[in-house]
Structure 1
């Protein structure tokens, strides 16, 4: 899922991400997103640890750029 989201796959919908992951149908990813149990605090702490380790070098640079998909139409999530 994360590799697909970070890829150059356009558009970033579940079917495209499933195909990128080698699945013929998005059912597995849909089940993962809909039914997986998440501990948001644990996930945040793990990601923070990875980021801190990656940026620990003296010459490290962090560039934050929100590059969300354009929302249009009446059926796109988030419109």
Structure 2
């Protein structure tokens, strides 16, 4: 359960994090949209897909949320790592990418397709998920 102090700490971390990446967005409009998008990801939206987030932010389609201008993914990665090390991590920590597949029987879930599902070592109707986790020991 969150306490008022937890919320204050998380708010300060979010502001510090966004201040670090804000310069990656050339204009104020995409910067504000990116900030709102990140807050929506952490918010109370039940399903966090492009359409739901767009509706939450008051946009008719997800296209407006994604923005039209590319920004430096390498610079973003570097700034996220700097933030994680400074606020949450260890100087030798790395983020480990973990890809998982979830077998699906229905046809209503977004992203379901016949694709290689590593856990089953075969092609099946599944969704793929990518997650990161910190590691300081290489595992």
TM interval, short-chain normalised: 0.5 to 0.7
Q: Which has the larger radius of gyration?
A: 2
Query: Relative contact order (alpha carbons < 8 A, sep ≥ 6): 1 or 2 greater?
Result: 2
Change (3 A) 1:74 1:15: closer
Normalising to structure 2: TM-score of the pair?
0.36
Partner of 1:25: 60
Partner of 1:60: none
SS at match of 2:83: helix
For the residues of structure 1 that align with 2:59 and 2:72, how far apart are their CA atoms?
29
- Which is richer in strand? 2
For the residues of structure 1 that align with 2:46 and 2:89, how far apart are their CA atoms?
33
Q: CA RMSD in A?
A: 3.3
Normalising to structure 1: TM-score of the pair?
0.57
5+ long unaligned stretches in structure 1: 58-65
Across the two proteins, how many residue pairs are aligned to each other?
66
For the residues of structure 1 that align with 2:74 and 2:53, how far apart are their CA atoms?
26
5+ long unaligned stretches in structure 2: 1-36, 91-97, 114-139
Change (3 A) 1:75 1:36: farther
